[in-house]
Amino acid sequence: MTFLAAPAVVEAVREFLEDGSYGSGSTATTLNGELVTTRSALSITDGDGTDGTPVILPGIKEIHPWISPGPHANSFPHLAIEWRGHDGENDPHSGRGFTHSLRLYTYVPIAVVAPTAARDEAQAVAYAVALYDLTLLTLFLRDSSTGIEQGKGLNSGGTGTAKDKIRRAVVTGSDVAVAGDSGTPALVLITDLSVTISEPYRA
């Protein structure tokens, strides 16, 4: 019997954010799909930055599992998924579960966000980071009443090893850090994520 552990959890989070797939040929909302909803709700009409032009809320261009390349990524903004460990076995009587700690880093250089009449460059990137936080919260707080697979279960664990094994995924906090250097300053949204997965029992 092989345990699922970190590789299955990281892949389930990546698929949830990037692909939105949860099996049977169906798809659920991706992170970039939810950003479209955020733009619409706030009447942001200047596009998603796919043509390289700075916009108010650009789409996420790359998602990196395991480690953040920071300023060395190929496209910006980018999001990285970092696994940070897990706690001990919990709920052993109704099913073996382990809660894994992950951290999402959304790296946003000032140059990819457009200043406006109301916000200078620094204010504009800070505002964009706040909207990424809002969008991630919306994505993970989804429930079955929306008619979309539950965000709290990472779309039933996706289509990989974790399928039907994710009990719960929840945002446990967030922070913002300054990154880059004076030539290419950036802000990073740091989102803490807790994911509980059911592990099989040995025969």
In the chain, the percentage of residues whose pLDDT exceeds 70 is: 90
pLDDT at 112 over 90: yes
pTM of the model: 0.92
CA neighbours within 13 Å on the CB side: how many for 29? 23
- Does residue 50 carry a pLDDT above 80? yes
Q: Would you state the pLDDT for residue 96?
A: 84
Average pLDDT value over all residues in the chain: 89
Q: From CA 26, how far away is CA 37, in angstroms rounded? A: 19
Which run of H or E residues covers position 32? helix 31-41
